[in-house]
C-alpha cells in the first residue's frame, strides 16, 4: 500500500494511475477502522482499479466540547487492516495540510444540515461537507463509498455533489452490524462492558418501530413510545424520527419510502443508527 501525507505526492501518483486508464475508488474515514470501514473498502475495490482510503480526524466537524481530542487514533493498526483488505493507497494529511493558514472557505448544504444530528451538533455537517469537498478535489475519484450508518451525512454529501456538479459517483454501503444488531462504530470503544450490553437496544427499537409503522400505527405515538423504550433500556435519546428516506422530512401517511433516524447518548458515547424500508 502506498502512503502519502502531502497533496502534491498523492496527486502526482494518482495522475499516473489515471493516465493508465485506471478507475479510482475512494473511502474517506477518520480512522480507528473496523469491519464497517473495511466493507466500504471492499465495495470500492469491486468498482475500481485503485482504491484510496483517507484517514483524517477532521477538527471542523467536531463541536466545542465534543470528543476531538480523545477520538481514537490507531494508525498502525489501521494500516495493517487496510493492507489486509487490499487497499492500494492511504492518504494521511496533517491538519495544516487540509486547513492551511489563511483558508476561509466552508461548504454548507442548507436545510438538511440543520436537521437531526445537525441540530444537536452545531456546524457538524458544514465541517463534513467542507472536508469531503476538499478530499474530492484532491483525489478526484470516479466512485466514492460512504456508509448508510451515517444516513443523514450520506444524503447531505449526495446533495453537495449534485449542487456543486462534482463528477463522482457516490455509492452507499449497507450498515455493518455486530451479531446482536449493534452498528459498528469507532465510538463504541467509549462504552463500558455494561453499556455494550445496553447498546443493541437501539437497533431492536428501530426494528420494533419499523414493524409498527408497517402495521399502520400512529407515527407520532411510535416516536414517543420508542423514546420511552430507549430510556427504559438505559439510553438517553437525542432524537427518534420517522422520515421520508429521500427528503429526510417528517414522513406523511402517504410516504412509502421511509427511514427511521435515531441518536442516543450512552455513557461517554453518542450513538446513531437508522433503518430504511418501504411500506
Ligand atoms: P468515520 O470514520 O466514522 O468518519 O466513517 C467513515 C465511513 O465509514 C463513513 O462513510 C461511515 O458511514 C462509514 N461507516 C462507519 N461505520 C460503519 C458501519 N458500521 N457500517 C458501514 N459503514 C460505516
Pick the residue whose CA is nearest to atom 17 on ligand 1: 36
Beta-carbon contacts of 188 under 8 Å, excluding residues fewer than 6 positions away, are: 182, 196, 199, 269, 271
Quote the pLDDT of residue 76.
98
Q: Give distance in angstroms: CA of 57 to centre of ligand 1.
A: 13
> For atom 22 of ligand 1, which residue has the closest CA?
147
Q: Is the CB of 237 under 6 A from ligand 1?
A: no
Asked if residues 173 and 145 have their Cβ atoms less than 8 Å apart, the reply is yes
Regions in the chain scoring below 50 on pLDDT: none
pLDDT of the residue at 63: 94
The C-alpha angle with vertex 110 and arms to 105 and 111, in degrees rounded to 5, equals 155
Report the alpha-carbon angle 279-220-230, nearest 5: 95
Cβ 268 vs Cβ 190: under 8 Å? yes
How many residues are given for the chain? 279
pLDDT confidence of residue 210: 98
What per-residue confidence (pLDDT) applies to 125? 98
Q: What is the pLDDT of residue 27?
A: 99
Is 241 considered catalytic here?
Answer: no
- Ligand 1 nearest atom to the CA of residue 176, by list position: 20
**If we measure between CA atoms, which residue out of 130, 105, 126, 106 comes closest to residue 117?**
126
Closest CA to 174 of 150, 154, 152, 147: 147
* Three cell numbers, residue 39: 466493507
Predicted pLDDT at 95? 98
Check pocket membership of 155 for ligand 1, CB cut-off 6 A: no
Half-sphere exposure at residue 210, Cβ-oriented, CA atoms within 13 angstroms: 18
Amino acid at each position: 500500500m502506498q502512503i502519502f501525507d502531502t497533496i502534491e505526492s498523492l496527486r502526482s501518483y494518482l495522475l499516473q494511475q489515471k493516465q493508465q486508464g485506471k478507475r479510482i475508488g475512494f473511502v474517506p474515514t477518520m480512522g480507528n477502522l473496523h469491519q464497517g470501514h473495511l466493507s466500504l473498502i471492499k465495495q470500492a475495490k469491486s468498482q475500481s482499479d485503485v482504491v484510496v482510503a483517507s484517514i483524517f480526524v477532521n477538527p471542523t466537524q467536531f463541536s466545542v466540547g465534543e470528543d476531538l481530542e480523545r477520538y481514537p487514533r490507531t494508525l498502525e493498526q489501521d494500516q495493517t487492516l487496510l493492507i489486509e483488505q487490499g487497499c492500494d493507497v492511504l492518504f494521511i494529511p496533517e491538519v495544516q495540510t487540509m486547513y492551511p493558514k489563511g483558508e476561509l472557505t466552508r461548504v454548507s448544504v442548507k436545510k438538511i444540515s440543520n436537521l437531526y444530528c445537525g441540530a444537536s451538533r452545531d456546524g457538524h455537517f458544514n465541517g463534513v461537507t467542507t472536508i469531503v469537498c476538499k478530499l474530492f478535489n484532491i483525489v478526484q475519484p470516479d466512485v466514492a463509498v460512504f456508509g448508510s450508518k451515517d444516513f443523514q451525512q450520506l444524503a447531505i454529501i449526495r446533495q453537495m455533489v449534485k449542487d456543486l456538479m462534482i463528477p463522482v459517483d457516490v455509492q452507499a454501503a449497507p450498515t455493518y452490524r455486530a451479531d446482536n444488531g449493534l452498528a459498528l462504530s469507532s465510538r463504541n470503544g467509549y462504552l463500558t462492558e455494561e453499556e455494550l450490553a445496553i447498546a443493541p437496544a437501539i437497533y431492536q427499537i428501530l426494528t420494533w418501530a419499523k414493524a409498527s409503522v408497517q402495521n399502520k400505527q400512529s407515527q407520532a405515538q411510535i416516536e414517543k413510545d420508542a423514546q420511552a423504550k430507549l430510556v427504559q433500556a438505559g439510553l438517553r435519546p437525542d432524537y427518534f424520527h420517522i422520515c421520508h428516506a429521500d427528503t429526510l422530512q417528517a414522513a406523511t401517511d402517504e410516504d412509502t419510502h421511509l427511514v427511521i433516524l435515531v441518536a442516543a447518548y450512552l455513557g461517554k458515547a453518542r450513538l446513531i443508527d437508522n433503518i430504511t424500508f418501504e411500506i
